[in-house]
Amino acid sequence: MAAKEPSTQAPFPQVVRGADLERRAVLYSRVSTNNGQDPEVQSREIREYCLRRGWPVASEYVDVGISGSKERRPELDRLIAEAHKRKFEVVVVWKFDRFARSVSHLLRALETFRALGIEFVSLSEQVDTSTPTGKMIFTVLGAVAELERSLIAERVRAGLRHARAKGKRLGRPAKHVDPTKVAELRAQGVSWRRIGAQLGVSPTKARNAAQEA
């Protein structure tokens, strides 16, 4: 008799009586294109998960044909707006990358949910922020996002130092001000403010150009 292959599906967490069963859940699904991709594949697994937990699904938010790199997503935006109205207590997604476009985006959303008392569950990564393990992962994500910001800032500073070492001038190029034009405008009684506006410089720069001339 052949041995039974172990299931690859992650086990559902144990249902907690009491407050756990009083939570209203919402699901969020996203597919990048509507050509052969069916968001129902994600939504069905999320519904089954909520059924096992005893959570009623209050609403479903599905973005179809929306790239993961896009900042604006109609259904995700609606989810965030209704989160502020406290219409649910749990957000359930199929996978991190279906929900967030980056670690920093995910962290900002989780911080918003935490402030509103909303838990977040990702099935594929088996993350549930209502559990101690989920809280630890949230902390790790924060550290990763902070490291990401620090690395970007350090690369920018290193690039600036390298440019200065090669003698490159940084910042906007200095704008030349024609002192003759300034003198003509002043002779016509034009104020320093209007002179600066006409020449595209500050009034102080226009005055300094006249004094240098």
What architecture is domain 22-144?
3-Layer(aba) Sandwich (3.40)
- Asked if 208 and 181 touch (Cβ cutoff 8 Å), the reply is no
Catalytic residues: 32
Residue 121, number of CB atoms within 10 A of its CB: 24
- Full-model pTM: 0.58
Q: Where in the chain are the domains?
A: 22-144, 179-212
At 101 the pLDDT is 78
pLDDT at residue 85 is higher than 80: yes
| 1-37 pLDDT per residue, tens | 444 444 444 444 444 444 565 789 999 999 887 666 7
Q: What percent of the chain has pLDDT over 90?
A: 28
What is the per-residue pLDDT for 91? 96
DSSP string covering 66-109, please? Answer: --TT-S--HHHHHHHHHHHTT--SEEEES-HHHH-SSHHHHHHH
* Residue 75 pLDDT class (50, 70, 90 cuts): very high
